[in-house]
Each structure stands twice: as structure tokens, then as C-alpha cells.
Structure 1
Amino acid sequence: MPQLRLAPSALKPHYPQLDPDATAPHTSPWMLGQERCVSAWSLFRRCSNQHLFVTAFPGFDGEALIEALHQQQPLQVSPGILASVVNGEAQALVKLTAEQFAKRTLPNGEAIPDEATLSALVELTPLRFVDQPLSRNTMLGSVDKSGAYHAGLLASSEVLVIPAEGLLQKPSRWFMVKEALKRGYIAFSGSPIQIPVCCKVVILGDVLDYDTLDALDPNFTDLFSLMAEAQPEWFVDSDEDAQLWGASAQQVSLLYTGRRLENGALTALARHASRSCEHQGRLTLAWHEMGLLLGQCESEGPITSERVQDALKQQRHRHNSVEIYAQRNVEEALVRVDTEGEKVGQINGLTVVDYCGHSYGEPARITVSVHYGDGEVADIERKSELGGNIHAKGMMILSACLYRIFGQDEPLHLSANIVFEQSYQTIDGDSASLAEYCSLISTIAEAPVKQGLALTGAIDQFGNVQAIGGINEKIEGFFHVCRYRGLTGSQGVILPRANTRQLNLSDDVIEAVESGQFHLFQVDNVEEALALLTGCEVGEPDKDNRFPDGTLYGLVQERLDQMAGNDEPERRPFWKRLFGFS
């Protein structure tokens, strides 16, 4: 059997000493890892009549990214001009570059006649973010009673950045912008003058906004054929990658606070960034969120590790009122959770609660009862409409796993009820399927499981244990309960081996593991988890798919045979019973 107990060194990421004076790879931290956006922006500059959709993500300043892209690759070296050309009674509005305006030439290369009057109406803004309601006047402009045109944003910018939510709040705004971009000009009723659309457009939103606009208008991608998806995480595959992230974090600190990060502060921030990604080999690029956190660090001068830790502690404290109530309910036994002893058909699962941007873990008591029946494994959460679709899928997979082992040759003559005790809210996800399966096996075999061990993990039909989310919060939630009641040295958590790269636990948990007071076990399959929970050998089937007597699966098979009536002695024929033959 592979090594199941996790060493303390595996419980958090390990980065090299981050140099606070390292040279940043870009002039702006928003450019780190955004090669997709750089490539899309290059095409945006080069391809006429092809506009760009930029997707951002929470905690990231999409406008700052666009500004950095524009500074690196501006559409025009010098801003253009919306000009008026009047020749006799004829008037036309045209977009000219600064050089064309100075040389009195049109975009097609023709010279503007000397007798024509050339005047600049608007000097185009190189980069403009829409900062007002998307009304018709705002976007297209207006013509007053004297016939003079007052430029809107589409005719007064080189690059116009429109928030996607502004277009989605009122779809007619999108179709207004679409028609202008499609035709290349703006026209007003009663006026013979066509105003050129002077800008290229960038829509800033998220991937859902892109899909919504695409669904709203099947021709959306005809105009917005370019999409730049902002990278949310930085992959740390080498020490150099970690240093590049640290140098960019230093830039963020200077932008948001005007103060530098000391070496220890960079390490503390990197650990927090890794936990945000739930991966030891990745660091978040949510620079706006990081900058706001650094702005909450107290004191003057360079930011130290202690100040970063204090800011994180205070941030948690401001959001954890529901968590405190949940912990108190367990501590005061209002919610029952056993952390010592052994019981049949009862196990500690682990859940994560998300609210108001805060996540915390708490144990959940899962119980199972079995009786003679038709083979149904009933999900009480689903029947009471407290279980989500993914949880229901996990229960079906659990049943399939059970039938794969014990029901290949004949149907199972038992039914089971599985329930999350004292749960009064919707439960979803398949991360409890490992705990539910183990509790089911415990009940059928009448084998007690250790209450000091909690477990989490999703299983497939072949009994493999798969990765789940929220692993750090789940472990810490159970650890808190055990620590409050007193660590015994036999308590711990069983987790999927695939989740070990997601571990980034608090120092309290790591210290308890180092001292042997708390344990973490990694498993690949349900048999490894069952062996840890029961202390019994699970057993291997023979060629007839029978498990050895005395093993855990052997006990399960014996109980199933009893329910099916297969364990009764063969009844003697009538004549043997009549004459007393054995």
C-alpha cells in the first residue's frame, strides 16, 4: 500500500526567497501572464473593421489592462482629427490623421482643394472609457437646430471602451452601436451629412457577457471577431516564475499604497495568492484585490509580513459572523458532531459554506440505514428537495460503484437511506460521495468507523477517489472542532491524493500535524479510505467474485446473502425428512 499519511512539508506551498528589488517583466503589473490579450490587441490594431471583446474576472481591473495594452501598442502615434471640409455649399465630415490634416489630404490620398475650407471639429481622444449612461446622444452625438454636429463618443475617440453591462441592460443600445459600426457612419434624420465612426471599439465584460451578447445577436461575432481572455492565474513552474510574480506584486503595492513590500511580506502575499487559486503551483493575478488588501495594512514605511497577516486576519474577522455561529452550535452540541469513539453507519463528512465573499468549512454528520428492499439507495436530501443535481449525480455514481462490486451476478435485496443530519439548507456537489459510500459499507457490514476521522472526496463508478474543491476550508473546519474538544492524536482528515497540490493550510493545522496531534491521509480509492476508517482488511475477490471471510467486503457480501436468503441451509427432500435420513 502506498504511503497514505501526509508529511507536514506537503501542507503548504514552498517558494524561493522573493527578491523585493527584482526587476519587473513589464512596465505594468496588469500585463503579467496576459500573452493572449497582447496577441489579440496586435490583431485589433492591424485588422480594420474587427473589434475586440476583453474578458476580465473578479478582483482584476480590466480597464488597467486595456490602458497598459494601449500604452505598449497605441493605435495611432498621434491622435486623429474629426475634420469638416466645406467646398462651396457642399460639406463633408471626415476622419484624418494629424499628418493628413497638416498636408490637406483625404484618407484615399486625394488632395483637398485649395478653395475648400478645412477645419478641425474634434481632436480624437486616443483611449476613452465610457463613463456615462449609454444614451443615443452619448454614443452618436446630436445635431442642433443650426445644423451643427456635437460629436458623440463614437466620433470623438480612437479607441472606445464600452462596459458590456451597459449594452446588456438595454439591448437596443447594442443594436444602435452595431448599426453604426456596421455602416461606418452615423446619420441623423433631416441632415444630409454622414458622420464617420472614428473609433475602434473594445467591449469589456466577462465570458458570460460574451455568450449573452452572442446569443442576443447571431451576428455579434461578425463585428467582434476578436476576443482576449484575461489570464486569472500565474503558473509557477520555476523559481524564476515566482520572482516575476513577486516583482509585479511590488509594482502593485507601489501603485495602491506608495509603499514597498519587504521580503517577508512578499512571501506572505504569495501564500495568500496561492490559497486564492487553491493550488500550490499557481498565484492569482487578481491584482486589484491584492492592492486593496495591501491598502488595508497599517503603519507607515515598508509593508512587513506581520502587517499582511494582520490585514488578512482582520479581513476574515469582518466576514465570519455566520462561521462563528456555526462553530458555536457545534461546540455547544446544538449540532451533533462526534470526534471520538467508533460507530456503525455514522461518519463525518466535510462541507464548505460560501457567503458574502467568505468561505469556511464545517463537518456534517452523515448517517445510513439499510433494510430489505429492491436495491435502491435513497437520497433523503433529494427527496426533501434539499439536494442539488450534482449531489444527486454523486448518489447515482455511488450506487453504480456498489453494484459493480456486489451486484454483478444478481440484484441486491437491500435498500438504504442516506442523510445529512441536522442539515436545513440546500446541499450540492459530489464531494461527500466518498463519505456516503464508506458509511453505507459500514452499515451493511455492521463495522464501526472511527469518529475522529473526517473525510471528503468524490468517487467514480470504479471506486477511484477524485479531487474536490474547498479542501483547505474543509480540513480547517474539522480541525477547529477537534481542537476545541481537545486533540487526542488520533484525529484527522482523509482526502483525495489528487488534492495534495491544493493544500495551503493555516499554521495552526501544520503545527498540529508536525507534533502528531492531527493527521492527514491521502487516498486513491475507496478501499484505502475504508481500511483507515475501520482498521479492517477490505479484501480481494477470488475468481468467483467472492471475498474472504472476515474481511470488510466479505462481511458485506455475507449480509447481502442473508437479505437475499442465500445463506439458509438447503431444505431436505420430503422422503428424507419422513424416514429421518440426514
Structure 2
Amino acid sequence: MVIEQTRVEVNRLRRRYQPEELEFCTTSADVPPLKDFIGQERAVKSMQFGLNMKAPGYNIFVSGPPGTGKTTYIQTVVTQVAAREEVPGDWCLLYNFNNPDMPLAVTLPAGMGQKFQRDMSNLIEELKTGLAKLFEGKDYENRKNTILRGLQQQLEDALNQLKQEANESGFIMKTSEEGIFFIPVQDGKPLSSEQYQALPEETRVSFEQKLKQLQKRTEEIVYDGRMMEKQAEHVVAQMDQELVRETTSPLFKKLEHRYRDFPRIITHLRHLAEDLISKVSAGHQESAAEDESHDFYKNYLVNLLVNNADTFGAPVVVETNPHYYNLFGKLEYRSQMGTVNTDFTMIKPGAVHRANGGYLILQAKDLFADPHSWDALKKALKNRQVTVENIGETQRSVPTISIKPEPIPLNVKVILIGSPRFYHLLQQVDEDFAKLFKVMVDFEVVMPRTSENLRNYVAFVGSVCRREGLPHFDRSGLAEIIEYGSRLAANQNKLSTQFNEVVEIILESAAWAQSAGAQLVSAVHVRQAIKEKIYRCSRVEERIQELILRGKILVDTTGAVVGQVNGLAVLDTGYYAFGKPSRITAKTFMGHEGLVNIETETRMGGSIHAKGVHTLTGYLGSMFAQDKPLCLSARLTFEQLYEGVEGDSASSAELYALLSSLAGVPVKQSLAVTGSVNQNGEIQPIGGVTEKVEGFFGVCQARGLTGNQGVIIPVQNVDNLMLSHEVVAAVEQGLFHIYAISRIEEGIELLTGMPAGERGPDGRYTPGSVLAMVDAKLQQYAEGLQRFHG
């Protein structure tokens, strides 16, 4: 009786397409392309809220598994929102004449930065041309020569006066490269050294006193000459500066008028003019012309750090490689003659600078690959400013000479895209994360299988076909795509939103249709695409099935064995998941050790699996230890399982093996079991039910279907079944069976063919039932242990 009550009807094994579900179309071409993002209402509303919130800290973390289309959606919706916003200004770096190590950061309306940079370049060219002509002209040379000739005349007059004084004092003045000399004269003739020494002492003393006076006067003339040279240089410099001022003033006034609304630029232009006037001279021009490696005008250039001239709306920057320098820019260096140097024109911007005033989209896993990026991003968001600083500049034990531009005010909304694991980890380990990323956009992997979403699915298929130039799908092909969406969702009432996997099947189905020369893609092409995809990925599954068929992995599909049950697990290779049957055995004997799980003891089992085993003790105690102690030693294990086990989906199978061993009742090996159990004996749902059923079916089919084989599943998992057409056909023909149960007792009767038994008012179970046999065995163990110890 329990067999018929628990057998799952064929129409519940796979939710098939119903004609009325697609009555709105004949092919995918009949439905207009999608305009909105489907299946993510919660995420869409959260995203809209996050984008509308302009307060600090309302940055966005987009969470969800890969393949849900979240990255594409985020870029699309952010671009749409940004297009309606104002374009932020440009940012320029200028030389700081007051503090050269801290370049000035100046903002201008979008597009004006480029114009300002061009205006300054034109100014430099005009200065070069104008100043070169200024110092090369005849007028300049004449004015300069007039000053120099005046100086020369004064020196000549002073020397002539000195010469006259020398003659009057009895000396002849001689000049040479070595200086000025005075030779004594007597009777109009120069005296030789011998003649001078032969003079009377009084005469020599007189000559020497006069000579000292002449030498003192010579020193005064030399000193006055030097002073006159300096005065002449000063006069020439003043003349140069005045000429430069007269020449450049119209140029600067024109720029000052053009940028009159920007006080910092006006101040900069005036400092620039003062710097130019103070440095420019004929000598400077000559040295600049001779030394091309020294750019005389470099400090007058403009470093256009951020140029929004071609930006439409607020900027949207998607940084695919968010290491520190790509995000925050860097200060580059130039190597010359064995040394390195830099200047403000070698400061390069990062993605944060380009996104300022708009949106910055980053992948979380890429961001955290660089340990410096996250800390620097948090600092920038907290301080609401960003600068350019090379890594390690602040940590150097020996400071180096470098430059650091003024910080730029930061107004950017950062959108991080990552997995739920990243989000929860950051919430736990980083106290700043919750303050800075207050909006969580959570993407779902499934959506309800409603008529509206069915229409959206068809529209999605049509959009892909139009975009890729593929043949459209007929109604049968669309039905298969929809059923595939429910299979991916692992729920008959849901559709998968992991559209990358759906797109793969769309593309591959179209390819098979084209190779067959079909005008439309139909069900046969979709099934072939799914079959071929499974074939490409199922090498490991086929290898395991081969080992089972060859008897290398022991799994029985016929007969009955005491204490042995076929359990089911799901193996995930990363790109393909499949069900794998495993033999679960139990051995019971007298003792006090209780249940011992070999996987747990050998550390091959996880904590959830261990919990499931401990739950069995609670069930046994409640069922059989109300009038006696639970005296039992038992060993449970997954035979030939070497990769470890996690989860409690096999706990019901372990309990069946344990009860079979205690009762001495054999279990049908033609059935496999999945489902967890609680201490009350209630069967609980598990995951991967479709893969588990198909895994056992594959082994049975390979050995030959007998009509007695099948799988026992929790009743709550019936709506998770989206079995392959092959399995459904076998069930339809009575060659395979699916049973859905809600209590352990139902499973006992299916596996043993015997009544499970019910507890009577006296606490005893129905005579001849499985539970009565178990109770009797445990009574025997308790009495035996008492006699043994007594």
C-alpha cells in the first residue's frame, strides 16, 4: 500500500510546457526585444535607491553568483543614470611658484581644461618668439651699448685722471694684462732699478710716499669700476625686465581676461609673469638656446590631469585591473645621466580621478588582489579627497625628495561587484565597510515561473537571436529553453536568472539547427545542444559509472542485503555536477560506544555530516530507550569513499542501514535513498535531487532496467525535480520509479517490504514489524550487557 501512496506520478517528475503557456507567440521573433532587466525586482529597486542617494557612504555593493547578468546590468543602468547628470569639471595641475613640491590642483568647467592647456602652450610659443626677437633687435643692442659705453667712458676718464696725477707725482703710468704699473722718472727719463737705488734716501722715501698715494687711488678706481659694472648690469637687467614686461603684458592680460572668473588661475598667471620677468635676460635666452635638455618654460605648462571635454553626463569608469596605480595614479620618473628626476608634468591620473563626479565600477575579487588598493580606496572615500602618491612614500625610513600635488575633492559613487561571500566577509572583518557601502544590491539566481516571466524568457531568447544574427526558436524550442531554465533553477516553479548558461544553450541550439539546415530552432536542436554539452563535461561521471559496472566500485542494483543501503551524493567538478551512488553500510553489536561514524573518526566527514549522525542517536533514544538504556555499539561508513563527505542528506540512508542491521532485515538494493532525517523521524529536504536521481538511473540503465529500481526522495523535493526526458520516459514505461516520503517508517516499508510497525499503548511495537525487531535486539543488548557486567 505504501508503494502506491508514495510513488510520484509521471507528470510531477518534470514540469513540461503547456500549450496555453506560449499561446502569445509562434516563434521568438513574435515578441519584442527586452527593454528591462528581468527577474531581479529586488536588485533593481535597491540599485535605483543606491543611485538616487547622494549622501556620503551610500556606495553600492552588488552581490550575486556569476552568470546572473549583474555586471552587464550595472554598467547599463549606471550609464543611463549618469547620462542625465551634469558633466563634472576638468582638473589641471599647475606649477606652484610658492611651493614647487606641491603642484596646484585647479578645476575648470568641462572642456575648458583642454582650452587652458592649449592657451598656455600657445602663450609659451609666443613668449619664445617674442623674447627671442626682443633680445636680438638693434634697438635693444643700441640701448645696451649706450649703457656700456657710458660705463667705459667713466672708466677711461678716471684712468686719464690717474695718469695725469702720476705724471705730476714724477711717475709714468703703464697698463698691461697684469694691471697698472708706475715707473719713477727723473729729468724726464724712467729710472732703472740700479738708478733708483742710487738715489738719495730722502728722494726714495718721497717717491715711495707718492707711489702709495697712486696705488690707493688705483684701488679706488678699480673698486669704482666694479661698482659701475654692477650698476650697469642692474640697469641692463631692469631694462630687460621692463622690456619683457612691456612685451608680455598684453599676452598675460588677454589670458587674465579670458579666465577672469577663475581667481586661482589669475593668481597663477601673475606669479608666472613675475617669475618670467625675474629670470628672463639675454643671458638666460642664450643658455636656454644652447642647452636643449633644459626646458626653460616647463614650469609654465599645464598638466591636464582629468579631461571631461568628450564626457556625456557624469563619467562612468569601469576599471578591470584595479591595482593601486591604476586606481590612484602615479608619479613617474625620468632617468638621466645615472640619476632620476621628476616634475609636476609627470603626474599621471588614476581611475578614481577620472570617475570623480560620477561612478566607479570595480570587481571585488580584482580589487582585493592588491593589498594597497582597498586601504587607499577607503581612505579616499572617508576623507572625500584623492591625491597622487606612490606606494611607500610615507613609509620610507630615509625621506626622498619628491613632489605631492594638492588633494582633489572627491565626489564619486563606487560600485563593487562580488559574491555574497565577499560581502559577508567584509561585514565581519572590516568595520569601515558597513559605513562606506550602505547599499547592498542582492541578485537572485531564480525567478518565479509566471506567465509574465515566461514572456520575458521568450523575449530574452529573441533578443539573443537578433543580436547574434541567429535563426529564431519555434514554440517547441522555446518550451525546451524554458524547461531548461527550470532545471537550472532546480525548481519546477522557478526559472533560472543565470542567463549566461541559458545563452550558451541558445547559441549551441542555433548552431545545431543551422548545421541541419533548419529555418527555426526546435526542441530536437535544444535537446541535442543540452546532450552534447553534458557529453563534453561528463568524462568523470562516465569514468565512475564504468568503475561501478566493472565492479571496481561496489554498488548493487538488485537483490537485498542486511545493513546495506544505496546512498546518493552530488559531485561537482566546477563546471558540471552529477549524482554518484555510494554504498552505505552499518554494523551493530553489543557495547556502550553508541554510534561511531568512520568518516567522522578519520576526519573525512564535515561538521554537518557529523551533526546528521548525532541526530540518529536522538532518534534511536526516543524510539527504543524509554524503558531501557540504549546499549549499542555501531559503525557507519560510506564504502569506498576517499574524497570526504559533507552534508546530512545521507542521514536517512544511514538510519535505514542501522535499523536493517539491528533488525536483521535485508534492504532492497534496487532502491537508492536520499534525504536527511530529524530526531522525530521526519524526512527533510535536500539539494541536488535531480542529479542524484539521474545518477542512480544511469547505473541501473547501464546494467539493465528491471522495473523494480528507483529512488526514494523527500516529499518536499518533488517540486525540485526536473528530470531528463530519458528518466521520465523510463518511469512512464514502468521501468523506473520515484518515491516521495515524509517519515522514516515509509522508507522502511519501501526498502524492506515489511511493515515498519507502530507503538502501542503498552510501548511495544507491532509484532513482526521492523521496529519491533529492532526493539527486541536492543533489549537483548541491554540484558546481555547487564549479565556480562553483573
Greater mean alpha carbon deviation, residues 338-347 or residues 76-85: 76-85
Distance 1:416 1:131, change over 3 A: closer
Partner of 2:235: none
1:41 Cα deviation after fit? 3.2
1:538 Cα deviation after fit? 1.6
The amino acid that maps onto 2:344 is G
The amino acid that maps onto 1:352 is V
1:566 Cα deviation after fit? 8.1
Query: Is the contact made by 2:387 and 2:406 (CA closer than 8 Å) also made in structure 1?
Result: yes
Query: Is the contact made by 2:50 and 2:59 (CA closer than 8 Å) also made in structure 1?
Result: no
Query: Is the contact made by 1:340 and 1:450 (CA closer than 8 Å) also made in structure 2?
Result: yes
Gaps of 5+ in 2: 99-103, 116-258, 267-301, 334-341, 389-401
1:514 Cα deviation after fit? 0.9
Q: Deviations over 1:430-468 (max 9, x none)?
A: 111111111211111111222211111100000000111
1:89 Cα deviation after fit? 7.9
1:342 aligns with 2:554: no
1:397 Cα deviation after fit? 0.6
1:216 Cα deviation after fit? 4.6
Partner of 1:196: 409
How far, CA to CA, are the matches of 1:467 and 1:543 in structure 2? 31
The amino acid that maps onto 2:702 is Y
1:22 Cα deviation after fit? 5.8
Partner of 1:408: 626
Q: Answer 1 or 2: higher relative contact order, Cα 8 Å, separation at least 6.
A: 2
The amino acid that maps onto 1:278 is A
Q: Deviations over 1:326-369 (max 9, x none)?
A: 11111122222222222222221112211132111122122222
Match of 1:69 among 77, 84, 109: 77
How far, CA to CA, are the matches of 1:239 and 1:180 in structure 2? 47
Partner of 1:162, secondary structure, is strand
Match of 1:282 among 494, 515, 528: 494
Partner of 2:366: 166
Distance 1:490 1:245, change over 3 A: same
Match of 2:62 among 48, 54, 59: 54
Distance 1:191 1:478, change over 3 A: closer
1:239 aligns with 2:451: yes
Query: Is the contact made by 2:111 and 2:307 (CA closer than 8 Å) also made in structure 1?
Result: no
1:184 aligns with 2:396: no
1:376 Cα deviation after fit? 0.5
Distance 1:198 1:373, change over 3 A: same
Query: Is the contact made by 1:319 and 1:356 (CA closer than 8 Å) also made in structure 2?
Result: no
1:306 Cα deviation after fit? 2.4
Larger proportion of strand: 1
Q: TM-score, normalised by structure 2?
A: 0.65
Partner of 1:417, secondary structure, is strand
Distance 1:45 1:489, change over 3 A: same
1:37 aligns with 2:44: yes
1:24 Cα deviation after fit? 5.9
Superposed, which structure 2 residues align to 1:433-582 within 5 Å?
433-565=651-783
Distance 1:133 1:191, change over 3 A: closer
Query: Is the contact made by 2:79 and 2:316 (CA closer than 8 Å) also made in structure 1?
Result: no
Distance 1:526 1:171, change over 3 A: same
Query: Is the contact made by 2:461 and 2:506 (CA closer than 8 Å) also made in structure 1?
Result: no
Q: TM-score, normalised by structure 1?
A: 0.87
Partner of 2:344, secondary structure, is coil
The amino acid that maps onto 1:159 is Y
Distance 1:178 1:24, change over 3 A: farther
Distance 1:427 1:86, change over 3 A: closer
Q: Deviations over 1:536-576 (max 9, x none)?
A: 2222212231113212211222222222228999xxxxxxx
Distance 1:98 1:221, change over 3 A: farther
Partner of 1:122: 307
Partner of 1:48, secondary structure, is coil
Query: Is the contact made by 2:68 and 2:500 (CA closer than 8 Å) also made in structure 1?
Result: yes
Query: Is the contact made by 1:252 and 1:287 (CA closer than 8 Å) also made in structure 2?
Result: no
1:78 Cα deviation after fit? 4.8
Partner of 1:175: 375
The amino acid that maps onto 1:8 is V
Superposed, which structure 2 residues align to 1:12-23 within 5 Å?
12-16=14-18, 17-18=21-22, 19=25, 20-21=28-29, 23=31
How far, CA to CA, are the matches of 2:727 and 2:751 in structure 1? 21
1:403 Cα deviation after fit? 1.1
How far, CA to CA, are the matches of 2:784 and 2:429 in structure 1? 62
Partner of 2:480: 268
Q: Deviations over 1:166-204 (max 9, x none)?
A: 321123211111222222222357456332335321111
How far, CA to CA, are the matches of 1:169 and 1:474 in structure 2? 37
Distance 1:182 1:5, change over 3 A: same
The amino acid that maps onto 1:94 is T
Partner of 2:134: none
Distance 1:139 1:92, change over 3 A: closer
Match of 1:8 among 2, 7, 10: 10
1:250 Cα deviation after fit? 2.8
Aligned Cα root-mean-square deviation (Å): 3.2
1:258 Cα deviation after fit? 4.5
1:404 Cα deviation after fit? 0.9
How far, CA to CA, are the matches of 2:693 and 2:6 in structure 1? 16
1:419 Cα deviation after fit? 1.9
Greater mean alpha carbon deviation, residues 526-535 or residues 244-253: 244-253
Question: Greater Rg, structure 1 or structure 2?
Answer: 2
How far, CA to CA, are the matches of 2:363 and 2:786 in structure 1? 74
Q: Deviations over 1:458-491 (max 9, x none)?
A: 0000000011111111111211222222222222
Query: Is the contact made by 1:386 and 1:427 (CA closer than 8 Å) also made in structure 2?
Result: yes
How far, CA to CA, are the matches of 1:362 and 1:486 in structure 2? 18
Partner of 2:601: 383
How far, CA to CA, are the matches of 2:404 and 2:699 in structure 1? 75
Count of matched residue pairs: 559
Greater mean alpha carbon deviation, residues 299-308 or residues 286-295: 299-308
1:208 aligns with 2:404: no
1:74 Cα deviation after fit? 2.9
The amino acid that maps onto 1:122 is N
Partner of 1:3, secondary structure, is helix
How far, CA to CA, are the matches of 1:8 and 1:527 in structure 2? 24
Query: Is the contact made by 1:37 and 1:229 (CA closer than 8 Å) also made in structure 2?
Result: no
Match of 2:434 among 221, 227, 242: 221
Q: Deviations over 1:292-342 (max 9, x none)?
A: 333333243543322222222121111111111111111122222222222
Larger proportion of helix: 2
1:248 aligns with 2:460: yes
Distance 1:25 1:375, change over 3 A: farther
1:275 Cα deviation after fit? 1.3
Greater mean alpha carbon deviation, residues 322-331 or residues 295-304: 295-304
The amino acid that maps onto 2:508 is Q
1:155 aligns with 2:353: yes
1:25 Cα deviation after fit? 8.5
Indicate the percent of aligned positions where both proteins have the same amino acid: 30
How far, CA to CA, are the matches of 2:674 and 2:689 in structure 1? 8
1:286 Cα deviation after fit? 1.1
How far, CA to CA, are the matches of 1:61 and 1:393 in structure 2? 37
Greater mean alpha carbon deviation, residues 515-524 or residues 486-495: 486-495
Query: Is the contact made by 1:352 and 1:470 (CA closer than 8 Å) also made in structure 2?
Result: yes
Partner of 1:131: 320
Match of 2:503 among 291, 309, 313: 291
1:43 Cα deviation after fit? 3.1
Query: Is the contact made by 1:156 and 1:199 (CA closer than 8 Å) also made in structure 2?
Result: no
How far, CA to CA, are the matches of 2:765 and 2:593 in structure 1? 20
